[in-house]
Structure 1
Amino acid sequence: MSPLPQELVDIVVDNLRDDIPSLKSCAFAARTFLTSARCHIFRRIEIAPPKPKTTPSSSPCQNLLALLTSSPHLPPLVEELCIVSMGSSSNEILEPDKTSSIIKGPRSWIMTDDSLSLILPLLNLKRISLIENASPWGAAVRWNDVPYPLYTALTATFCSPSLKAIHLRGIIIDSPAQLLALFRDAASLTELSLSRVRFTETLPAHTASLWPDLDARPWRPRLRTLLLSDQPKTGPLCEYLSSPGIDLADVKVLTVATYQPESRNIITQAASTVEHLRLLYTPSGAYTSIFNNSTLRSIHIFAIWRWLFRAIHSFFRSFTDESHLEVVVFEGLHPQSGSDGDDVGLRGLSELDAAIDAAIERHFHSLETVEIQRTLYLNCDRLRSFEDWSVTMREALPSLAARGILRLKENRVPNNGVHHGFE
């Protein structure tokens, strides 16, 4: 039998690019698939923390180093490296009684495993993540305590001309200036995600000592995508990054997760040409100036479930001008335990539906989709079915259903302390 055309093999493998088990099966099934499948299998690698050992064995990082050094054709295939400094693997589903399988302690494993400092120079990465998947606020990486070989390897990677994306979640660092120094020379950087960043030096957001060299050397990145999570235990990260010496004019996709209305308003003003905005909703503060931005084409609002319908009401009543929005998403995170709670939000929704209908008629002539998402934890199974919930939502918001623009979706996420895209 003649071999399959390579073009057909590539099409099959490309359609499986995110299905690693199927790609591995293809690679084992026939040599014809091996080269194409290998490119996708090794495109993204995640290094998980080591688990408790009963017998001496190599860590995941040590195993990866051995593989890369023994197979020199593999390092060029790696485009993205995700380093989980603390917690479980991003793809691991842990039941509440299985958290003991994670090594816990005051320091991350990267402080003692020297393999990582040897892996990084082998790779020419496009994306790097250094994240904690711990709940809540695990033992973040203390940057000043990072061993020098790893410090050198990480800083070289952060400034690599090929690097396009950096994701930091869970890092303790001296100051905003020290944070910026990590990646300000990354000439190709287009995506930046910063969350759980804690500063040992607390400074007012707009003081000369905060950014001592921005006047002489402004930072004008080519960022297209920016995520900032400014939580109570951190400094005012959003305000720090909205300094006049930092140019965010190219940002088109902005995610802002902060409980401080002032910080939220400042950073959205600094990135004034955003087209796709994602916000963590809180009942405090006005949103009118944010929502009426004429460049916006989509908005995604994330809220805890008991605030979801308040967020919907606040959104539609905030508009005073013609909106060019095409897509609006409201996502509610359900609590881990307790009753469904839909009845709390659905009481008196006839007035809300009338307000939505009037707002759409007046301001939203380009609106194509209003999506409501119910986000549940993976081990939460005591709520009503998605089908029953969908019927209730369509009955509660008949104006959206009648216009044919209402979409309903359910997400299942691990309960690892990470707010599903909002950090």
Structure 2
Amino acid sequence: MDLPQELVDTILDILHDDGPSLKSCSLAARIFVISARKHRFKKIEILSSSDASQRFYELLCSSPHIAPLVEDLCIISVLETFPETCAYLDPSGDYMSGRTLSLILPLLTELKRISIIENRDVNHRTGLQYSRSWNKMEPPLQSALANVFSSPRLEAVHLCGLVLESPCHLLSLFSEATALKKMSLSRLYFAQPQDRREPWPESQLWRPKLQSLLLNVFSTDLCQYLVNPQIDLTHVRTLRLATPSPEQRKRMVLATSLRHSRGVEHLGLYLAYNFEPTLLSPELYSTNLRSIHFISHSMVELLGIFVKTCPHDSRLEYITLDSFTNLQQHTDVPKLYNAIDATVDHLPALKTIEMRWIMSYPSDVFPQWEADAHTAFSSLMRRGILRMTKLQLGQGSLLPIGWE
């Protein structure tokens, strides 16, 4: 086959996430093999409930040229049922107790992104007793993961559904990761009692310069560690917080918006059933804020307060509001709508207000919800900035995609 290599590379770049097509191309002609192989092995996903890790290890041993191609590793622990005891935390053959993964990790010399995710069951059970424990791992696996977490090549990490010793232990694992830019921490728990947790050592440096940080954790003291002056968050441009304490959310936002920082450009806040109006005070919004994303059961009230308090010189372009409630459930509706209409013009850069109704189960009432919003926010419709969307929760998730 006589094709320019540049054309072949372009074709395969377009097919980069289409596994079957990449496999077919690699079998079609030799000229496709190298580029197809690069895309096929760039991201690897291992399910702990299968023998995938053993087969992948055997492949790496028989074809050593594959290991340097792996840049993104996702390890998923699939638990479909939860016994009444905690015996499942260390099941036979699970990746936390098995040895194969500790042999695989040192071979992946070009690894840039790693995810360790526990899929929960359909009952959404959460808590320390329903999560995998770092202390249940065998020492070789602990060591191998610690080496990956501190690697100067690591750029992104996603941890979901794990039990670690303490917030200090968690952050110390990444303190030497100089290239780490993106960190997502969700459903993490700590075995050490809160009153016995050690402070962040004054002598320990924090070398990552995070640009994106997501926190979806119930532990309030993790935020206390992150706002420590020794941990520099002033490079964070994307921040999403689903933490229980309004005060901790406020401290986290302020920690990323210090005087010498450009401040957060994309901010997401999960405010649950109630929200503190002080959390929407003007000093929290950097002049560089481009988008803000709220999840709240008080969509209209929240929007009214936000557009009123947001600085008039803001460069804000996008507002996204996710809610589980109907518009009719909001109190004093006409007054709130009028207030929003009167103040939205103070945001000259605003392009879109997207209201997304979260459906935790299939429903056919979205058209009525959309019609109610169009009537209530007729002026926003005339401006062409209102968008209505329905949002189905993913299986096993309590939050929209991107928050876990």
State the TM-score, normalized to the length of structure 1: 0.82
Q: 247, 264, 272: which is aligned to 1:274?
A: 264
2-side partners of 1:19 and 1:346: how far apart?
45
**What displacement does 1:29 show?**
4.4
Q: 80, 84, 105: which is aligned to 2:88?
A: 105
Find the counterpart in structure 2 of residue 381 from structure 1.
362
1-side partners of 2:287 and 2:293: how far apart?
16
CA contact (8 A) 2:72 2:111 kept: yes
2-side partners of 1:113 and 1:421: how far apart?
30
2-side partners of 1:219 and 1:42: how far apart?
32
Find the counterpart in structure 2 of residue 91 from structure 1.
none
Find the counterpart in structure 2 of residue 299 from structure 1.
292
Q: 126, 131, 143: which is aligned to 1:137?
A: 126
**What displacement does 1:322 show?**
3.2
C-alpha change, 1:64 and 1:310, in structure 2 (3 Å) is farther
Find the counterpart in structure 1 of residue 221 from structure 2.
236
Find the counterpart in structure 2 of residue 222 from structure 1.
209
Find the counterpart in structure 1 of residue 49 from structure 2.
50
Q: 315, 320, 328: which is aligned to 2:306?
A: 315
2-side partners of 1:113 and 1:204: how far apart?
33
C-alpha change, 1:12 and 1:397, in structure 2 (3 Å) is farther
CA contact (8 A) 1:349 1:397 kept: no
**What displacement does 1:392 show?**
4.0
Aligned residues: 383
In structure 2, the residue corresponding to 1:113 is in which secondary structure?
coil
Question: Residue 36 of structure 1 aligns to which amino acid in structure 2?
Answer: S
The correspondence of residues 27-66 of structure 1 with structure 2, limited to 5 A, is 27-50=26-49, 59-66=51-58
**What displacement does 1:389 show?**
4.8
The correspondence of residues 113-262 of structure 1 with structure 2, limited to 5 A, is 113-123=98-108, 124-134=110-120, 135-137=124-126, 139-203=130-194, 209-211=198-200, 213-214=201-202, 216-231=203-218, 234-262=219-247
In structure 2, the residue corresponding to 1:111 is in which secondary structure?
coil
CA contact (8 A) 1:256 1:278 kept: yes
**What displacement does 1:40 show?**
1.8
2-side partners of 1:344 and 1:318: how far apart?
24
CA contact (8 A) 1:220 1:248 kept: no
C-alpha change, 1:302 and 1:27, in structure 2 (3 Å) is farther
1-side partners of 2:389 and 2:156: how far apart?
28
Stretches of 4+ moved more than 6 A in 1? none
CA contact (8 A) 2:98 2:138 kept: no
**What displacement does 1:352 show?**
3.0
Q: Which runs of 5+ in 2 are unaligned?
A: 258-262
**What displacement does 1:36 show?**
2.1
Find the counterpart in structure 1 of residue 347 from structure 2.
364
In structure 2, the residue corresponding to 1:132 is in which secondary structure?
strand
In structure 2, the residue corresponding to 1:281 is in which secondary structure?
strand
In structure 1, the residue corresponding to 2:158 is in which secondary structure?
strand
Q: 388, 401, 405: which is aligned to 2:385?
A: 405
Find the counterpart in structure 1 of residue 397 from structure 2.
417
2-side partners of 1:396 and 1:78: how far apart?
51
In structure 1, the residue corresponding to 2:396 is in which secondary structure?
coil
C-alpha change, 1:418 and 1:167, in structure 2 (3 Å) is farther
**What displacement does 1:115 show?**
0.8
Q: Deviations over 1:93-124 (max 9, x none)?
A: xxxxxx69xxx923362233211111101102
1-side partners of 2:115 and 2:142: how far apart?
15
C-alpha change, 1:199 and 1:319, in structure 2 (3 Å) is same
CA contact (8 A) 2:174 2:208 kept: no
Q: Deviations over 1:143-200 (max 9, x none)?
A: 2232011011111111111111111112222222211221101111111111222222
Percent identity over the alignment is: 39
CA contact (8 A) 2:186 2:216 kept: yes
CA contact (8 A) 1:222 1:250 kept: yes
Q: CA RMSD in A?
A: 2.7
Find the counterpart in structure 2 of residue 95 from structure 1.
none
Q: Which runs of 5+ in 1 are unaligned?
A: 52-58, 89-98, 335-340
In structure 2, the residue corresponding to 1:258 is in which secondary structure?
coil
Q: Deviations over 1:195-227 (max 9, x none)?
A: 22222234469x9x411x22x334242111111
1-side partners of 2:27 and 2:394: how far apart?
31
Q: 66, 71, 80: which is aligned to 1:79?
A: 71
CA contact (8 A) 1:219 1:247 kept: yes
**What displacement does 1:267 show?**
0.7
CA contact (8 A) 2:220 2:244 kept: no
**What displacement does 1:82 show?**
0.8
C-alpha change, 1:392 and 1:30, in structure 2 (3 Å) is farther
1-side partners of 2:14 and 2:242: how far apart?
33
Q: Deviations over 1:356-397 (max 9, x none)?
A: 221112x301111212223445xx333235x66544432332
CA contact (8 A) 1:174 1:199 kept: yes
**What displacement does 1:4 show?**
3.0
C-alpha change, 1:271 and 1:28, in structure 2 (3 Å) is same
C-alpha change, 1:354 and 1:30, in structure 2 (3 Å) is farther
